[in-house]
Structure 1
Amino acid sequence: MSEKDDFDLQLFLPYLLNQAAEASSLAFTKIYKDRYGMLRTEWRVLFHLGIYGTLTAKEIGERARSHKTKISRAVGALETRRYIKRTRLETDRRVEALELTPLGMSVYHDLREEAWRYDQEIANQMSEQESAVLKKLLLRLSNG
């Protein structure tokens, strides 16, 4: 017989953070998946281009902290839907600049409004002070 293990997984911070992230993103995932058939990495690529303008896949991967293979697949899917266009850089023909097409920009604006509304719904579940503290702490943890 072994002693009772007193490690409480439900209070393990990385587990809690993951559970909170999954729970809080489910409804928004449904919006971009149902409306535009996008996967998580695809909407992240779309949002990075919508927010920052022209970027390379490598730059998006670094900003989003995503593996280059996932970014590459997302770029291909978004290009197939005509949401983004690629342009080879004159300075380095191996690298492509990515930017949103007018259709991609329209999708980005639609989803940005949905994201803003959804963010407000989550924030409304707590006081303004709690929301500010939570964001501050999550930023601290994510910037390690």
Structure 2
Amino acid sequence: MSRAFAERYEAEFGLSIPEWRVMAVLGEGEPLLTQAVIARTGMDRVKVSRAVIRLADKGLIRRDPHPEDGRAQVLSLAPPGLALYGRILPRAHALQAELAEVLSPAEIAALGDMLDRLHRRAARLLGEEEG
């Protein structure tokens, strides 16, 4: 999925896969600490850090100091980032739908269930149990 996205949209929007993953997580709503972005994207700290720096340099995200922890940063989409997210999201959904066309609704539901179970198991194996 990421490779298909990169091939179609990297040149048009100027975003790498890690940059898009960070934007996608931040586009879901509330500002997040860098640690939360790392957890939600499943990417390592270095990839997230580099993507955050590039996105901030492009003016697409804001990095604000955490009010209680001066070492932590609170990340959010800046207005240009929100606008770009709004342009990309419908295309990403269309690509996802195009890929899923080969599956029946029952297969899609079963796949979603299997992926959820694998995610929960991986989190337990890594000691990152979810509540």
- If the TM-score is normalised by the length of the shorter chain, which range does it land in? 0.7 to 0.9
Runs of 4+ aligned structure 1 residues displaced above 3 Å come to none
Q: TM-score, normalised by structure 1?
A: 0.78
- Distance (whole Å) between structure 2 residues aligned to residue 84 and residue 32 of structure 1: 19
CA offset digits 1:58-82 (Å, max 9, x no partner): 1100122221111110000101111
Equivalent residues of 2:21, 2:41 under 8 A apart: yes
Structure 2, unpaired ranges of 5+: 122-131
- Give the share of equivalent positions with the same residue, in percent: 31
Structure 1, unpaired ranges of 5+: 1-23
- Give the aligned residue type for 2:17: R
Alignment match, 2:90: 113
- Give the aligned residue type for 1:49: L
1:129 aligns with 2:106: yes
1:85 aligns with 2:62: yes
Equivalent residues of 2:2, 2:17 under 8 A apart: no
- Give the aligned residue type for 1:85: R
CA shift for structure 1 position 29: 1.7
